[in-house]
Amino acid sequence: MVPIEKDEFLARVRLFQDLTARERREIQGLFVEQRVERDQFIFQEEDPAEYVYIVVEGKVKIVKQAPGGKEVILEVFAPAEIFGGATLLLERHPASAVAMEPGMILRLPCAHYQALLKRFPPLAFQIIERLADRLREAHQVIRGLAADRVEARMARLLFKLADKIGMPAGTATRLGLHLTRQDIADMVGCTLETAIRILSRWQKEGFIKTEEGVITILNRPELDRLLRLH
Q: Which residues of 24-58 are buried (b: 16+ CB within 10 A; e: fewer)?
A: beebbebbeebebeeeeebbeeeeebebbbbbbeb
Q: What is the pLDDT of residues 44-53, one digit of tens each?
A: 999 999 999 9
Q: What is the pLDDT of residues 131-155, one digit of tens each?
A: 767 666 655 655 555 446 888 888 8
Strand, coil or helix: what is 105?
strand
Q: What is the pLDDT of residues 40-74, one digit of tens each?
A: 999 999 999 999 999 999 999 998 877 766 777 88
Give yes or no for a contact between 57 and 33, defined as CB atoms under 8 angstroms apart.
no
**Domain 6-143 sits in which CATH superfamily?**
Jelly Rolls (2.60.120.10)
Of 116, 135, 6, 147, residue with least CA distance to 52 = 116
* CATH fold of the domain at 148-229: Arc Repressor Mutant, subunit A (1.10.10)
Instruction: Report domain extents, the chain.
Output: 6-143, 148-229
Distance CA 65, CA 189 (A): 15
Q: Which residue has the higher pLDDT, 213 or 107?
A: 107
